[in-house]
Amino acid sequence: MNCRYYLVMALLSGLMLCTRPLETTGVTETGTVVTGNLVTASGTPVSASLVKLVPADFDPLKDAQRVRTYADTTDSAGSYAFHAVPLGAYTVLSVNIRERTRAMTGGVNVDAGEDTVAAPVDTLRIPGAIKMTVSDIFDTTNGYVYIPGTFNFVRLRGAGHIVVLDSVPAGTIASVA
């Protein structure tokens, strides 16, 4: 037989020894279910859109590897759901790649004792940009600008203190940090 065959078999055997069977203990995840719906500007449900749930104070550079975010895809009725969501304040971020539209819903709060939280119905719209001048008091060499509760950020690059945050969903942005 081929030497590769034995190598593959040895690797597979090693993997089987390193894994253990799944145990069913009857324990289910606890937490709240966050649900919502996406529509077009005319009110039609939007399917196949990516929806993410992130903490309202999420920093896309500092928190990306250590903070849990949730993701789902809308069904034919434009509905999505996130399961086992812990207490806290969240932002719902949505994007439809095909139509190049986005939405952002802030103020989704999960409080103690709630089984389900319904986020407001949101409308996907063409995104925009935020263009701003950054003051000289900030570290324009190593710093960055971001919208809390989103993945939108731009690194500062020294001279020329104008920054543009692109692909920003339409709506009111509470703050830029």
pLDDT band at 30 (very low <50, low <70, confident <90, very high): low
Instruction: For residues 138 and 135, give the distance between their C-alpha atoms in angstroms, rounded to a whole number.
Output: 6
* Average pLDDT score over residue span 67-73: 94
Q: What Cα–Cα distance (Å) separates residue 10 from each residue in 2, 6, 107?
A: 13, 6, 53
The average confidence (pLDDT) of the chain is 82
How much of the chain exceeds pLDDT 70, in percent? 80
Q: What is the pLDDT of residues 91-127, one digit of tens each?
A: 999 999 999 999 999 999 999 889 999 999 999 999 9
> Residue 173's pLDDT band (boundaries 50, 70, 90)?
confident
User: Cβ distance 114 to 87 under 8 Å?
Assistant: no
Per-residue confidence at 148, pLDDT binned at 50, 70, 90?
very high
* More confidently predicted of 137 and 56: 56
Residue 134, pLDDT above cutoff 90: no
